A and B are shown apart, each in its own frame.
Chain A
Amino acid sequence: MKNAGEAALEKVELSGKRSTPIKSMLGRRETGIVVPALLLFVFFSLFSDSFLTQYNMFNISRNLSFYIFIALGQAVVIAIGGMNLSVGAIGGLSTIAVGHILVNMGLPGSVAITVGLLTGITAGFLNGIIITKLKLNPFIVTLSTSFLFTGLVYGISKGYPYTDIPKSFTYVGRKSFLGFPIVFWMLIIILFALYYLYRHTVLGRRLLATGGNENAARLSGINTDRMIILANVLSGFFASMTGVLYVSRMGSAQPATGQNWMVTSFAVAIIGGTSLDGGIISSIGLFAGGVIMVLIKNGLILMEANVYFEQAFLGMIILFTVSLDSIKDLLKVLKNRNSED
């Protein structure tokens, strides 16, 4: 039996699936997103003088970080086969929690951050518990809770922003380290952590297995309810983290924070190769998705294009990425048909 095992091991090496990194890289899903992101980058560097300036790069990398933070809140739940329509509302709620604690209660920043993050974690937990224990569709659950959270935002803030944020609180959101914004370094660390989680740990593999086929995963001894709750907690955490960072960046806590996150979160997550069927998430893909998003917004301004059309471009790109596989299949069929006739 042992010999048979060794023989099988040898076979793996012969088939080469693991031994040639370049080939496996080309075959990967993310490549389809990384290449256009690079091309866009080169395009704007060549055709716009102000693109490669230090000021613009700083701006781009900071916006990029925020887009991806928003997308993470969506991607972690899409990967388990769910969704979270309340990412923006959770972000808004954390923003207001931070503002309320810093300004109205005058407590230190550490308390504000802790409460801000706990708000998101609790909100995500609530979503997860309702979805699993009441066996409800995540669409309807998070749609409902998004109203609930948004209502709390306006109830607590009465629609007014909290503007007297201590200057020390804006350090992380505004300052840089080694030429890049601190938030960008945070992004890199988080993406690495997620890569490790989903690629190498039992927990990550179980999250993906749940997204791949919830029934099969449960009947293989995976506590799928726990996985779904956990993914929603993670989603709430990322949403609230983004909310806290927004306060730090703006120097004020705006009740409107998060209102436009839902579309952004889906756009970057999907362009970044997160499978809407669940089971697939990629750090590299998300990064490239964020790059594409930020370059379109930034590039259009630099090119002095009519920025009012921005959303139309985004819509087209999302449609294009999600239909990429279908287009490939269609082309194949057409090719076969032509060669046959």
Chain B
Amino acid sequence: MLILKNITKTFPGTKALDDVCLSFQNGEIHALLGENGAGKSTLINIICGIYPNYEGTVILDDKVLKLRSYQDALETGISIVNQEIQTIPDSTVAENIMLDKLERFQKWGRLNWKELNNKALEYIKMVHLDLEPGVKVGPLSTAQKQLIQIAKALASETPVLLLDEPTSALTEHETATLFTLLRELREKGKNLIFVSHKLDEIFALCDKVSVIRDGRWIGTDKIQNLDREGIIKMMIGRETSDEYLGVLEPDRDTVVLEVKDLFLKNKVNHTSFQLKKGEILGFYGLVGSGRTELAKVLIGEDRYQSGEVFVNGEKVIIRSMSEALKKYGIGYVSENRKEEGLILDFSVETNIGLTIWDKIRGKISRKISRTKEDKIVLPLIDRLKIKIASPQQEVSSLSGGNQQKVSIGKWLAADCDILIVDEPTIGVDIGAKEYIHDLIWDLAKNKGKSIILISSDLPEMLKLSRRIMVFQNQNIMGTLDDLTGEPKNNDEVSLKIGGLMI
């Protein structure tokens, strides 16, 4: 049994955890829930020895733990599957799985590859991967890499296993396989701690749920005693608003963006579609199914080999994001805010202002007008409810949800007519997620902007889009038109989408 007693953790200026008490039993899958910034990550980092300094005690099987590093945690019997993929591309699958215990396979100063591969194969099979242990990890899919990470944690054979959003890169089928495996581990008496934003998964898998909010423990209960609304209420401290957003009335006669037979080898396979003014067009599919690939071609990041693109009826060739923005008013919110969306060491104001400097500089002095920048950026910070002490605060110090708001805010500042939003709520808590949804809806409904929404989150897709294109293996499997978005129809639409994706 793992017990956390009166854990308090302060960072300069904030109390990340305040007197948290929790216990995790062996033979149980225990869900740890909370919004971004609630203190979940801090708690996980303390359990894993990554934050060695905190108040309170961590007890594992009657022993007080004093972990100094993750290495310590592993030796004590705690391992973690990280949300972010951390595999080494040029090493083999077996090496990646056994990375922290390679010395065990060493004989006379030489690595015994055969023994290493045999041992790794056991765990490869355990996660139902169909891979040779000797192949390199680099070219594998994100899902395969995630499964390798899970295999790596399993190979540590620790009694306590933390899983931090392990399914974010997995297909439904792979998720189901993983859940079977986790249930098996539960039968073997392992102590499993499961972190996820997807409530469906929690209900399908977990035995117990603990919720933290604003660094405090809110409650723990058996899953049988809880329902969806109850959990959400515990997490955000209030009820969620009605999921139904209403009717969207796009201008059906005005096509702002049209794509005809676009082709780029291995990325876009002879795709055609139209985007109408004031519409939210959904690109639904898994990571790697060709949605982001198509978006990257549209903004000029990649060049297509054949086909045609029309903006407002005019045939265009877009060579770069800079052209897309300046000539055609197209914006792109990246799915990867840390690598492609934000300059982490720069201030919130600079990050949002990035797209508008051209418009606010002096003609002769070439100087950026700070007052004009403030006039555009500060109301946006306010409107987006980004929680900061000052606009000069570095983006790296913000929570995931607030970072995502900054990443979107940049394009609101640019006032694009066509906005491509790629996984706008990935890794974002429920409160911020709802807010971002309202924002996208408002842009289309009230401001007449045209939006392409790329998402693998089906409820999000059903809530916002009234026309959904379903992607799989770079192909468009079908398009669902004239959706009402009413929650009562959602099951039927989900079934249809499922039918398209066989």
Q: Are A209 and B354 neighbours in the complex by a CB distance under 8 Å? A: yes
B445-475 interface mask toward A, CB cutoff 8 Å, 1 = contact, 0 = none?
Answer: 0000000000000000000000000000000
**B382/A7 in contact, CB under 8 A:** yes
With a cutoff of 8 Å between Cβ atoms, the chain B residues found around residue A196 in the complex are: 367
Residue A12 lies at the interface, judged by CB distance under 8 Å to chain B: yes
Whether B366 lies near A202 (C-beta < 8 A) is: yes
Please indicate the chain B residues that have their CB under 8 angstroms from the CB of A203 in the complex: 366
Q: Distance (Å) between the CB of A3 and the closest chain B CB?
A: 9
**Chain A, range 1-57, C-beta contacts under 8 Å to B:** 1-2, 4-5, 7-9, 11-12, 15, 17-18
In Å, the complex CA distance between A201 and B361 comes to 7
Which of A206, A280, A340 contacts B357 (CB under 8 A)?
A206
Contact of A217 with B354 at beta-carbon distance under 8 Å, contacts A12-B390, A279-B346 already known: yes
Are A222 and B322 in contact (CB-based, < 8 A)? Answer: yes
CA distance A2 to B344 in the complex (A): 29
Partner among A17, A208, A213, A336 whose Cβ is within 8 Å of the Cβ of B342: A213
Q: Give how many A-B residue pairs fall within 8 Å (CB-CB).
A: 109
| Interface members, chain A 178-218 (any B CB < 8 Å) | 196, 200-203, 205-206, 208-209, 212-213, 215-218
| Closest Cβ neighbor of A206 among chain B residues | B357
Q: A2–B52 Cα gap in the complex (Å)?
A: 46
- A18 with B368, Cβ < 8 A, contacts A8-B381, A209-B354, A219-B321 known: no
Q: Is the CB of B366 within 8 A of A9?
A: no
Contact: B324 with A221, CB < 8 Å?
yes
Please state if A8 and B379 are interface contacts (CB–CB under 8 Å). yes
Q: Decide if B332 touches A212 in the complex (CB within 8 Å).
A: no
**Partner-contacting stretch, out of B14-22, B171-179, B333-341:** B333-341
User: For chain A, what secondary structure do more than half of its interface residues adopt (helix, strand, loop), or is it mixed?
Assistant: helix
CB distance from B67 to the nearest CB of A (A): 13
List of A residues within 8 angstroms of B368 by Cβ: 200-202, 205
Q: Are A221 and B321 in contact (CB under 8 A)?
A: yes
B358 on the A face (CB < 8 A): yes
Among B321, B343, B367, B375, contact of A5 (Cβ-Cβ < 8 Å):
B375
CB distance from A92 to the nearest CB of B (A): 33
Q: Are A15 and B390 neighbours in the complex by a CB distance under 8 Å?
A: yes
Q: Is the CB of B341 within 8 A of A202?
A: no
Contact assessment for A205 and B342 in the assembled complex, using a CB-CB cutoff below 8 Å? no
Q: How far is the CA of A213 from the CA of B248 in the complex (A)?
A: 37
Instruction: Judge whether A220 is part of the interface by a CB distance below 8 angstroms.
Output: yes
Judge whether B340 and A215 touch: CB under 8 Å. yes
Whether A5 touches B378, Cβ cut-off 8 Å, given contacts A200-B368, A213-B342, A337-B53, is yes
Q: What CA separation (Å) do A61 and B305 show in the bound complex?
A: 59
Q: Considering the chains assembled together, what is the distance between the CA atoms of A62 and B363 in angstroms?
A: 36
- The verdict on A114 contacting chain B, using a C-beta distance below 8 Å, is no
Cα–Cα, bound, A18→B341 (Å)? 26
- Cβ of A223 under 8 Å from chain B: yes
Is there an interface contact between B53 and A340, defined as CB atoms closer than 8 Å?
yes
Distance from B338 Cβ to chain A, minimum over Cβ atoms (Å): 9
Q: Are B350 and A216 in contact (CB under 8 A)?
A: no
CB closest chain-A residue, reference B336: A215
Residues of A within 8 A of B365 (CB): 200
B391 closest partner in A (C-beta): A12
Report yes or no: B366 in contact with A218, Cβ–Cβ below 8 A.
no
A35 → chain B closest CB, angstroms: 23
User: Smallest CB-CB separation from B377: which chain A residue?
Assistant: A8
For residue B326, CB closer than 8 A to chain A, the reply is yes
> Which of B299, B322, B375, B381 has the largest count of A CB atoms less than 10 A from its CB?
B322
What total of chain B residues lie within 8 Å of the partner, measured CB to CB?
43
Take A17-B390, A17-B392, A212-B346 as given contacts and tell me if A218 and B321 are in contact as well, using a CB distance cutoff of 8 Å: yes
Smallest beta-carbon distance B246→chain A, Å = 22
Q: Which residues does chain A contribute within 8 Å of B345, judged by CB atoms? A: 212, 277, 279-280
Q: Is B502 an interface residue (CB 8 A)?
A: no
Hey, which chain A residues are within 8 Å of B63, CB to CB? none
B343 touches A279 (CB 8 A): yes
Whether the Cβ atoms of A220 and B367 lie closer than 8 Å is no
Contact of A216 among B343, B358, B379, B390 (CB under 8 A): B343
Tell me which residues across on chain A come within 8 A of B495, comparing CB atoms.
Answer: none
Chain B, residues 379-417, CB within 8 Å of chain A (1/0): the string is: 101110000011110000000000000000010001000
Judged by a CB distance under 8 angstroms, whether B302 is at the interface is: no
Give the distance in Å from the alpha carbon of A126 to the alpha carbon of B300 in the complex.
25
Assess whether B325 is interfacial by the CB under 8 Å rule.
yes
With both beta carbons as reference points, the residue of chain B lying nearest to A7 in the complex is identified as B382
B7 to chain A, nearest CB (A): 14
Query: With a CB–CB cut-off of 8 A, which chain B residues contact A1?
Result: 379, 383
Residues of chain B within 8 A (CB-CB) of A222 are 321-322, 354
B341 touches A216 (CB 8 A): yes
Are the CB atoms of B324 and A12 closer together than 8 Å? Answer: no
**B contact residues around A18 at 8 Å (CB):** 392
Whether B324 contacts A15 by the Cβ 8 Å rule is no
Query: Does B321 contact A213, Cβ atoms closer than 8 Å?
Result: no
Least CB distance, B293 to chain A, in whole angstroms: 15
> In the bound complex, what is the Cα–Cα distance between A18 and B374 (angstroms)?
12
Given contacts A5-B379, A201-B366, A279-B345, contact A220 B354 (CB under 8 A): yes
Residue of B nearest to A225 (CB): B320
Best-surrounded residue of A202, A217, A219 (most CB of chain B within 10 A): A219
| Smallest beta-carbon distance A280→chain B, Å | 8
Most buried by B among A5, A11, A277: A5
Q: Which residues of chain A are near B391, meaning CB under 8 Å? A: 8, 12
CA gap between A92 and B374 in the complex, in Å: 46
Report whether A336 and B366 are in contact in the complex, using a CB–CB cutoff of 8 Å.
no
Q: In the assembled complex, which residues on chain A have CB atoms less than 8 Å from the CB atom of B383?
A: 1, 4
What's the least CB distance linking B353 to chain A, in Å? Answer: 8
A23 to B324, CA, bound (A): 41
Closest Cβ–Cβ distance, residue B339 to chain A (whole Å): 6
Q: How far is the CB of A26 from chain B (nearest CB, A)?
A: 15
Please name the residue on chain A nearest to B299 by beta carbon.
A219
Instruction: Indicate if the CB atoms of B346 and A9 lie closer than 8 Å.
Output: no
Give the distance in Å from the alpha carbon of A124 to the alpha carbon of B354 in the complex.
Answer: 27
Q: Is residue B355 contacting chain A, with contact meaning CB distance below 8 A?
A: yes
Q: In the complex, A333→B368 CA distance in Å?
A: 40
Q: What 6 pairs between A and B have smallest CB-CB spacing?
A: A5-B379, A221-B325, A212-B343, A8-B378, A202-B357, A15-B390
Q: List 13 A-B contacts (CB under 8 A).
A: A8-B382, A9-B374, A12-B391, A15-B389, A17-B392, A209-B346, A213-B343, A217-B343, A220-B410, A221-B321, A222-B354, A277-B345, A337-B52
Which residues from chain A sit less than 8 Å from chain B, CB to CB? 1-2, 4-5, 7-9, 11-12, 15, 17-18, 196, 200-203, 205-206, 208-209, 212-213, 215-223, 277, 279-280, 333, 336-337, 340
Q: Can you add 14 more A-B contacts, CB < 8 Å, to A216-B334, A219-B321, A221-B355?
A: A1-B383, A4-B379, A4-B383, A15-B389, A196-B367, A202-B366, A209-B354, A215-B339, A216-B341, A216-B343, A218-B320, A219-B301, A220-B354, A277-B345
